């Protein structure tokens, strides 16, 4: 394969040829010279540039979700963004973080092994101060977390892990779980010191306090899905759209969402003065409603079924008698308007 010369080498060749200091044979020897790439066997590169880029894109989504969730929980201005994504040895990562610090060991189910989420002490104590009712001003506290403070940080980390699951959803249905919180980095030996890891550094700002969050993922943990960390797989998974698998996942998630259902006996309009004068024992006469009429079962604010009241055991219940989707929604709106006018 033809080697590409640098600009300096091209300039030297042109100068030498123009002055006659180099003949054609020397020129051919320079062109045939191969570039030598230094390779450190103690720190082998296990992640390609494309895979590092994909990891960065995933955690940019994670950073946006975390910014929103922390801002809502702390009722304060929070900003999180990806500063860098690097690969290094686990020993180098452990040496780069302060001690003591808030260091959460994360179980990366269904992947094997664990990862580490490290939160800078300045950010940790600012979050705790905000949740305890303080102003969240940064303080140069250098101590281990108390049991109460550790419990507070556990709830914060659990919320953050929910954002991580969503950010990884295009690659794998990750179910990260908080294992434990350590304060001394030396006690968190999840892999051998020489093992390669990918380190995602997130710049975090809470009001005027700035710090770092570091997410460390060992290569052994991420190895089973390393082939999915490519731009081709990433963008193809985004474009897949409504596949059967995605629809099944969507149905499973929607199945757990709570929906408000109301069985409506009837309705009527009353002036505010009449509402304020209501007392126990008063009778309210409903408009256009007879005793034999069915009740309307609403899901949210939309009528969906007709039903009749009854009991099941010791509980009040309704029995669905008719599905209202066969009737146009406009018909209900017309009935409502007519009832109001009367």
Q: Work out the mean pLDDT of the chain and round it to a whole number.
A: 80
In this structure, of 203-217, 219-233, 291-305, the range with the lowest mean pLDDT score is 219-233
Q: What's the CA gap between 265 and 306, in Å, rounded?
A: 11
Check pLDDT > 90 for residue 4.
no
**Is pTM, for the whole model, over 0.75?**
no
pLDDT, residue 216, reads 93
For 298-329, give one letter per residue: b (16+ CB within 10 A) or e: beeeebebbbeeeeeeeeeebeeeeebeeeee
Q: What's the CA gap between 296 and 286, in Å, rounded?
A: 14
Average pLDDT over residues 294-308: 87
Instruction: Identify the structural domains of the chain with CATH numbers, from first to last.
Output: 1-36 (no CATH), 49-241 (3.40.1550.10), 261-335 (2.30.330.10)
Average pLDDT over residues 221-231: 82
Q: What's the CA gap between 13 and 92, in Å, rounded?
A: 43
pLDDT, residue 275, reads 85
Strand-pair category, 209-218 with 114-119 = antiparallel
Q: What's the CA gap between 312 and 318, in Å, rounded?
A: 9
What are 23-47's pLDDT values in tens digits? Answer: 555 555 555 555 666 655 555 667 7
What are 117-167's pLDDT values in tens digits? Answer: 999 988 998 898 888 888 777 666 778 888 898 999 999 999 999 999 988
């Amino acid at each position: 394969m033809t080697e590409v010369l640098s600009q300096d080498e091209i300039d030297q060749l042109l100068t030498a040829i123009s002055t006659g200091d180099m003949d054609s044979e020397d020129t051919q020897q320079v062109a045939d010279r191969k570039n030598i790439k230094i390779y450190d066997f103690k720190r082998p590169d296990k992640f390609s540039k494309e895979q590092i880029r994909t990891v960065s894109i995933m955690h940019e989504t994670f950073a946006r979700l975390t910014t929103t969730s922390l801002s809502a929980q702390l009722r304060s201005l929070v900003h999180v963004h990806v500063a860098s994504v690097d690969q290094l040895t686990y020993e180098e990562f452990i040496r780069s973080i302060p001690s003591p610090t808030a260091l959460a060991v994360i179980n990366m189910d269904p992947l094997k092994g664990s990862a580490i989420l490290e939160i800078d002490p300045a950010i940790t104590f600012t979050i705790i101060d905000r949740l305890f009712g303080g102003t969240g001003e940064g303080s140069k506290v250098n101590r281990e977390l108390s049991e109460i403070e550790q419990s507070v940080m556990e709830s914060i980390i659990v919320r953050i892990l929910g954002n991580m699951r969503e950010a990884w959803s295009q690659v794998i249905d990750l179910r990260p779980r908080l294992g434990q919180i350590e304060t001394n980095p030396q006690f968190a030996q999840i892999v051998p010191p020489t093992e390669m890891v990918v380190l995602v550094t997130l710049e975090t700002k809470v009001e005027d306090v700035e710090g770092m969050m570091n997410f460390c993922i060992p290569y052994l943990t991420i190895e089973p899905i390393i082939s999915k960390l490519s731009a081709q797989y990433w963008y193809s998974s985004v474009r897949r759209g409504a596949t059967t698998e995605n629809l099944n996942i969507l149905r499973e998630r929607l199945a757990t969402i709570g929906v408000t259902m109301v069985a409506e006996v009837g309705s009527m309009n009353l002036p505010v003065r009449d509402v304020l004068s209501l007392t126990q024992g008063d009778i309210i006469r409903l408009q256009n409603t007879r005793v034999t009429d069915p009740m309307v079962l609403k899901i949210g604010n939309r009528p969906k079924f007709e039903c009749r009241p009854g009991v099941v055991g010791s509980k009040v219940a309704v029995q669905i008698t008719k599905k209202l989707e066969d009737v146009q929604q406009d018909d209900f709106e017309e009935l409502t308007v007519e009832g109001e006018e009367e």
